[in-house]
Amino acid sequence: MTNDNQSEEALEYRALYSGALIGALLGVISSALLTSTDHLSSCLALVPIPVVGILVSLRAWLKIRREGDLYTGATIALVGLVLSLIFLVAGVGTASYIHATEVPDGYERISFLTLKPNQTEQRASKPIPDAVVALVGQPIFIKGYIRPDSITARHGIDRFLLVRDDNQCCFGDLSKVSYFDQIEVRLVPPRRTSYKTSLFRVGGKLILHPANLGRGPEHPVYFLEADYIE
């Protein structure tokens, strides 16, 4: 058998290294970071995907380089490595920039988790956290979604329910929505907004209506006199 035939036979029997495929798949999945840039915490929760993708792809590439007579797939491993790196840097970088610049000057960032009493407060029968009470009348900044059934028109909206997220937690049956997962927003004239399914950023003075506790979600406890909306 000639040397050329031996080389062709060796190439013919080289196996595609499975680690290269796994790394490439993780690289593609890492694109999920770009869909989570509105929330830094959500983006950071996805960081393990590209990190593992980088490690798997790099390990696969090195193994293929060492054992090139047995395995193929170095290009696939490199593609996975590059994709994981790009999505990691782009996702975390974008989310960090948004987080650092989205709150207007003079407003304090809170989330719907801030409005929920912790276990200690629940045991002490304190449905409104002390941290929230301290913010009453102060300018706060919060992100959420317009609950569709809280509005009667798609444009020129000056009042709506801002809810925690756009899944069944807060868009399902209103009777199942917790009081700390919604805020009634009242836009200060002449501000108005239009309905959209994407995230809203709202700022204004926080108001409490503790008398509404226990009356059901159709009677909000938290209100926001909003002078900023985006």
Task: Specify the pLDDT at position 1.
Answer: 47
Q: pLDDT of 200-213, one tens digit each?
A: 999 999 999 999 99
Burial group, residue 87, by CB count within 10 angstroms (0-12, 13-18, 19+): buried
Which residues have a Cβ under 8 Å from the Cβ of 46 and sit 6 or more positions away?
30, 32, 33, 36, 91
Task: Specify the pLDDT at position 139.
Answer: 97
The C-alpha torsion from 31 through 37 and 43 to 48, rounded to 10°, is 30
For 190, the token pair is 């002449």
> For the chain, what are the domain ranges?
3-101, 108-229
For the four alpha carbons of 115, 203, 185 and 35, in that order, the dihedral sign comes to: negative
Backbone angles phi, psi at 44, to 5 degrees: -65, -30
- 140 neighbors 108 (Cβ within 8 angstroms): yes
Task: Name the class of domain 108-229.
Answer: mainly beta
**Per-residue pLDDT tens digits of the chain, which is 230 residues long:** 455 555 555 445 689 999 999 999 999 999 999 999 999 999 999 999 999 999 999 999 999 999 988 999 999 999 999 999 999 999 999 999 999 999 999 999 999 999 999 999 989 889 999 999 999 999 999 999 999 999 999 999 999 999 987 655 777 777 788 999 999 999 999 999 999 999 999 999 999 999 999 898 889 999 999 999 99
Q: pLDDT of 50-103, one tens digit each?
A: 999 999 999 999 999 999 889 999 999 999 999 999 999 999 999 999 999 999
- 143 neighbors 98 (Cβ within 8 angstroms): no
> What's the whole-model pTM score?
0.83
